[in-house]
Amino acid sequence: MLDRILAKRIIPVVVLDQASDAEPLAEALLDAGLDIMEVTFRTAAAAESITRIAKAFPEILLGAGTLLEPDQVARARDAGAIFGLAPGLNPEILAKAKQVGLQFSPGVMTPSDIEQALSLGCDLLKFFPAGAAGGPNMLKALAGPYAHTGVKFVPTGGISAKNLGDYLALPVVAAIGGSWMVDKKLVADANWTEITRLTKEALAAAAAV
């Protein structure tokens, strides 16, 4: 999974209000050359959206995000998610992910969070909220005591095409996540061509690092 994430280095963070938008959105990302996405459990449409994408586009490395309840972890797995994420680190969620066989990246923001994640066996960690938590400078500082452990981060929160290079230039950053290329308004307007354009732009910016 890490190899596939490292190949593209971008994870679009998707919020879907209507499951019927799932396939066209996935297609818009694939048209741009991106075969990774995270569908967040922030809406009632999340599980069905994951089911639809997993069925129509099995080539997508499909993640479920914002998993805050153990029950959501099981539903994400049943729906066909390959990996899971959360904004924070909750041992109950990690235990459930292990039980159902879902690869999981908890969210961290502090040295203590990182140490707890490592001791629970996680080494690909979401770093959230990246911008508000100090951005690339914070990650550079955290790399000091932790890079040698092999830990890698996926920063999200406040990242766009303008600043993704600052994050991806850091060896401790595996990939970045963000919602800007799959903005809710673009989805509501069914503006798939703009989603494809923004995704291509993001991939080009990442490839240039």
Active-site residues, by number, are 38, 126
Judged by beta carbon, residue 10 or residue 22, the one nearer ligand 3PG is 10
Cβ 180 to ligand 3PG shortest distance, Å: 6
Judged by beta carbon, residue 65 or residue 136, the one nearer ligand 3PG is 65
Contact call for residues 178 and 40 (beta carbons, < 8 A) = no
Please state whether beta strands 152-155 and 103-105 pair in parallel, antiparallel, or not at all (unpaired): unpaired
Does the protein bind ligand 3PG through residue 135 (CB under 6 A)? Answer: no
Measured CA to CA, the distance from residue 197 to residue 209 in angstroms comes to 19
Does the protein bind ligand 3PG through residue 163 (CB under 6 A)? Answer: no
DSSP tag of 17: S
Task: Please identify which residue in 146, 178, 181, 198 interacts with ligand 3PG, judged by CB under 6 A.
Answer: 178
Cβ 91 to ligand 3PG shortest distance, Å: 20
Binding segment toward ligand 3PG, per CB under 6 A, in 45-53, 143-151, 173-181, 201-209: 173-181
Judged by beta carbon, residue 84 or residue 178, the one nearer ligand 3PG is 178
Binding segment toward ligand 3PG, per CB under 6 A, in 29-37, 48-56, 138-146, 152-160: 152-160
If residue 196 lies in a helix (H) or strand (E), which one and from where to where?
A: helix 192-207
Beta strands of the chain (E only): which ranges?
A: 10-14, 36-40, 61-65, 83-85, 103-105, 107-108, 124-127, 152-155, 176-178
Phi, psi of 74 (to 5 degrees): -65, -40
Number of residues binding to ligand 3PG, judged by CB under 6 A? 12
Does the protein bind ligand 3PG through residue 13 (CB under 6 A)? Answer: yes
Does the protein bind ligand 3PG through residue 158 (CB under 6 A)? Answer: yes
Measured CA to CA, the distance from residue 123 to residue 179 in angstroms comes to 23
Judged by beta carbon, residue 1 or residue 56, the one nearer ligand 3PG is 1
Burial category of 109 from C-beta neighbours within 10 Å (exposed 0-12, middle 13-18, buried 19 and up): buried
Binding residues for ligand 3PG, per CB under 6 A? 13, 65, 87, 128, 156-159, 177-180
